[in-house]
């Protein structure tokens, strides 16, 4: 191909790119519209024909506004590549790349991000994004006068607006009806949704004036009964990742995914709702004093959370991290991140198994002289590389899915891999409880486990997590919670375990309860505490 053998008028670039986005990039919304329209009892042919015309007009308007000499090519090339990634994610996993997903993406670590790479995804983005971007750069834009360029641009903009206006007049009621019944459609339009969401995230995170930090629970102190205990209290708090309750044997699942903890007879909470559908939302939310409807990330990151208040009361805390960061929760306490290294038989240079976090358990629990909480943030069931979360010795359900492009595994293989992660997390919890039981002579010991959000495994074509909460399926929002306490812990706290077990099987809870439940369980007295939200309060003498 000779240099500059490809050439095009700069005024033709917007409609050509708009057509490409309509026909190729936006395959996910075309697929969804087909599903919706074929499900209607009656639909106007004219309305169906108008939809691609309306979208073309919208895309053409966008690219007319972006089409300026010297900047058009790099901007459009970026949109081609990034949009091909979004298109692949939506088609393959059924996710929406909205504000929540953008937030989760920016706060995902390198190992998690790499887990989404597969040969199929690389080929898709290469064919749909990089090759069109390369062709764009190889194409010479012919010269024209500014007058002709601006007149053609004005004509293109007015033509798009006029076409959209005519369609709106003719089929306004049809569009309103479809959008109201399927509000998720607007989240599927590429590139508008992810560009708007990214702009909002960058503005909120880096450009907005920071919210003044607010201290709460300044009056926090340990209750007298906690100070007078014969020995310190030690609570192990395990923050799970991507575990959904429906794959728990305790919930009624047909597989015994809780075989390891069953001998310890933990208390299981069957109806617990998450604060979000992604780690970046759920983790700071659950430790804050805000309930889900009122949750604000900027507030959560700029005010004390329950960990801060417990530390202020004199409770010693350590956070061990193995899932991409504490999301601002552990900013005032000691934190240790598990770093993979070949010397550890439970790790290599790329990853570790969660049980590697327990190797320092003895050091973390030696000579404690005050009430303590040991936090473990595990990688649990983080996808799509579920097979990397458990060793071969714990590969109980086969055949599993040893790949990241999980949509190319059978449903059986996918579920087997996911169930193996649930089973291995259960093994982790059992190991933690076993080591806690060995410390009963030194401390009053207990363990509390809760997951940050759930996971979709292909139900209705949806995979992974991160769906907008209002649209999220129950698989992404209903999470498991377990509690185990030694007789000494229960006695010192006046905790009726039978009462708590009944509450766990009958009552509904959520991440909203965690803030007050931790304060209550650790006997922290403060005006910030609300007993009505404390799960344990009604079961204490």
**Count of alpha carbons within 13 angstroms of residue 399, beta-carbon side:** 7
* Cα(310)–Cα(522) distance, integer angstroms: 8
150 in the same domain as 31:
yes
Instruction: State residue 482's pLDDT score.
Output: 98
**Count of alpha carbons within 13 angstroms of residue 3, beta-carbon side:** 0
Lowest mean pLDDT among 108-112, 188-192, 374-378: 108-112
* Cα(381)–Cα(285) distance, integer angstroms: 20
- 233 is a domain residue: no
Closest CA to 463 of 480, 452, 475: 475
**CA geometry: angle 186, 189, 195, nearest 5 deg:** 100
* Burial label, 435 (beta-carbon count in 10 A; 0-12, 13-18, 19+): middle
518 in the same domain as 374:
yes
Instruction: State residue 81's pLDDT score.
Output: 96
DSSP collapsed to 3 states, 202-248:
HHHHHHCCCCCCECCCCCCEECHHHHCCCCCEEEEEEEECCCCHHHC
* Burial label, 541 (beta-carbon count in 10 A; 0-12, 13-18, 19+): exposed
How would you label 230-269 residue by residue, b for 16+ Cβ within 10 Å and e otherwise?
ebbbbbbbbbbbbbbbbbbbbbeeebebbebbeeeebbbb
Q: Are 250 and 270 in contact (CB under 8 A)?
A: yes
pLDDT at 176 over 80: no
pLDDT at 283 over 90: yes
- 492 is a domain residue: yes
pLDDT at 2 over 60: no
Instruction: State residue 4's pLDDT score.
Output: 52
Structure tokens at 290: 């805000």
Q: Are 422 and 383 in contact (CB under 8 A)?
A: no
Domain boundary among 186, 206, 226: 206
261 in the same domain as 152:
no
Q: Are 314 and 370 in contact (CB under 8 A)?
A: yes
More confident residue, 115 or 528: 528
482 in the same domain as 429:
yes
46 in the same domain as 128:
yes
Condensed to tens digits (0 to 9), the pLDDT of residues 98-123 reads 888 888 888 776 667 777 788 889 99
More confident residue, 272 or 107: 272
Q: Are 343 and 203 in contact (CB under 8 A)?
A: no
Instruction: State residue 1's pLDDT score.
Output: 47
pTM, two decimals, is 0.83
DSSP letters for 164-198: HHHHHHHHHHHHHHHHHH-GGGGGG-TTHHHHHHH
Domain that residue 438 falls in: 239-539
Instruction: State residue 82's pLDDT score.
Output: 95
Number of domains in the chain: 2
> pLDDT-derived band of residue 349, with 50, 70 and 90 as boundaries?
low
Domain boundary among 164, 186, 206: 206
Structure tokens at 142: 């012919």
- 224 is a domain residue: no
Condensed to tens digits (0 to 9), the pLDDT of residues 137-149 reads 999 999 999 999 9
Which residues are registered as beta bridge partners of 484?
447
CA 496 to chain CA mean position, Å? 35
* Burial label, 280 (beta-carbon count in 10 A; 0-12, 13-18, 19+): buried
**Count of alpha carbons within 13 angstroms of residue 502, beta-carbon side:** 6
Q: Are 333 and 307 in contact (CB under 8 A)?
A: yes
156 in the same domain as 274:
no
When the pLDDT of each residue in the chain is averaged and rounded to a whole number, the result is: 92
Instruction: State residue 108's pLDDT score.
Output: 74
* Cα(383)–Cα(110) distance, integer angstroms: 14
pLDDT at 490 over 60: yes
Reading phi first (left if > 0) and then psi (alpha if -120 to 50, else beta), residue 324 is in left
112 in the same domain as 243:
no
Condensed to tens digits (0 to 9), the pLDDT of residues 61-96 reads 999 999 999 999 999 999 999 999 999 999 988 888
% helix, strand, coil for the chain, step of 5: 55, 10, 35
- The CATH number of the domain where 503 resides is what? 3.40.720.10
* Cα(85)–Cα(115) distance, integer angstroms: 14
- 234 is a domain residue: no
- 110 is a domain residue: yes
446 in the same domain as 304:
yes
251 in the same domain as 191:
no
Instruction: State residue 413's pLDDT score.
Output: 96
* Cα(198)–Cα(79) distance, integer angstroms: 13
200 in the same domain as 244:
no
Q: Are 485 and 199 in contact (CB under 8 A)?
A: no
- 508 is a domain residue: yes
Percentage with pLDDT > 90 across the chain:
75
Reading phi first (left if > 0) and then psi (alpha if -120 to 50, else beta), residue 460 is in left
Longest dimension (CA), the chain: 88
* Cα(362)–Cα(441) distance, integer angstroms: 14
Instruction: State residue 101's pLDDT score.
Output: 84
Domain boundary among 206, 229, 262: 206
Structure tokens at 433: 């409880």
Instruction: State residue 226's pLDDT score.
Output: 73
Lowest mean pLDDT among 149-158, 192-201, 447-456: 192-201
DSSP three-state, residue 418: helix
284 in the same domain as 198:
no
Residue 184's CB is within 10 A of a number of other CB atoms, namely 15
Reading phi first (left if > 0) and then psi (alpha if -120 to 50, else beta), residue 447 is in beta
- 220 is a domain residue: no
- 228 is a domain residue: no
256 in the same domain as 306:
yes
More confident residue, 350 or 235: 235
pLDDT at 229 over 80: no
């Amino acid at each position: 191909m000779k240099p500059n053998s490809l050439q095009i008028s700069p005024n033709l670039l917007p409609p050509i790119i708009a057509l490409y986005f309509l026909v190729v990039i936006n395959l996910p919304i075309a697929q969804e519209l087909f599903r919706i329209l074929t499900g209607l009892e009656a639909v106007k042919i004219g309305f169906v024909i108008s939809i691609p015309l309306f979208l073309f007009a919208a895309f053409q308007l966008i690219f007319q506004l972006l089409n300026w000499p010297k900047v058009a090519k790099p901007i459009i090339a970026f949109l081609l590549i990034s949009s091909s990634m979004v298109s692949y994610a939506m088609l393959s996993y059924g996710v929406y790349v909205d504000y929540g997903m953008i937030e989760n993406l920016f706060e995902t670590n390198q190992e998690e991000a790499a887990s989404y790479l597969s040969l199929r995804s690389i080929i898709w983005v290469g064919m749909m994004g990089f090759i069109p971007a390369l062709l764009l750069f190889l194409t010479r834009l012919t010269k024209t006068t500014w007058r002709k360029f601006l007149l053609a641009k004005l004509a293109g903009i007015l033509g798009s607006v006029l076409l959209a206006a005519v369609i709106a007049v003719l089929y306004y009621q049809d569009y309103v009806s479809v959008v109201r019944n399927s509000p998720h459609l607007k989240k599927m339009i590429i590139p508008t949704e992810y560009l708007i969401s990214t702009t909002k995230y960058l503005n909120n995170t880096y450009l907005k004036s920071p919210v003044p930090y607010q201290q709460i629970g300044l009056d926090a102190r340990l209750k007298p009964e906690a100070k007078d205990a014969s020995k310190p209290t030690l609570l192990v708090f395990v923050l799970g990742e991507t575990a959904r309750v429906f794959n728990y044997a305790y919930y009624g699942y047909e597989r015994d995914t809780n075989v390891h903890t069953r001998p310890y007879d933990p208390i299981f909470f069957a109806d617990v709702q998450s604060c979000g559908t992604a780690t970046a939302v759920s983790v700071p939310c659950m430790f804050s004093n805000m309930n889900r409807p009122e949750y604000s990330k900027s507030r959560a990151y700029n005010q004390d959370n329950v960990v801060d208040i417990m530390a202020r009361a004199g409770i010693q805390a350590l956070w061990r991290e193995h899932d991409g960061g504490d999301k601002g929760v552990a900013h005032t306490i000691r934190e240790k991140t598990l770093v993979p290294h070949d010397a550890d038989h439970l790790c290599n240079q790329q990853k570790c198994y969660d049980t590697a976090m327990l190797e320092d358990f003895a050091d973390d629990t030696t000579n404690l002289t005050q009430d303590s909480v040991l936090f473990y943030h595990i990688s649990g069931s983080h996808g799509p590389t579920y097979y990397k979360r458990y060793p071969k010795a714990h590969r109980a359900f086969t055949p599993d899915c040893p790949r990241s492009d999980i949509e190319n595994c059978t449903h059986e293989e996918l579920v087997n891999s996911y169930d193996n992660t649930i089973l291995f997390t259960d093994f982790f919890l059992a190991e933690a409880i076993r080591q806690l039981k060995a410390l009963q002579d030194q401390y009053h010991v207990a363990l509390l486990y809760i997951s940050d959000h759930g996971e979709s495994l292909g139900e209705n074509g949806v995979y992974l997590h991160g769906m907008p909460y209002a649209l999220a399926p129950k698989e992404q929002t209903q999470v498991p919670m377990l509690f185990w306490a030694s007789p000494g812990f229960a006695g010192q706290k006046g905790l009726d375990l039978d009462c708590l077990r009944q509450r766990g099987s009958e009552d509904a809870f959520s991440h909203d309860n965690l803030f007050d439940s931790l304060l209550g369980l650790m006997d922290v007295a403060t005006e910030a505490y609300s007993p009505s939200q404390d799960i344990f309060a009604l079961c204490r003498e």
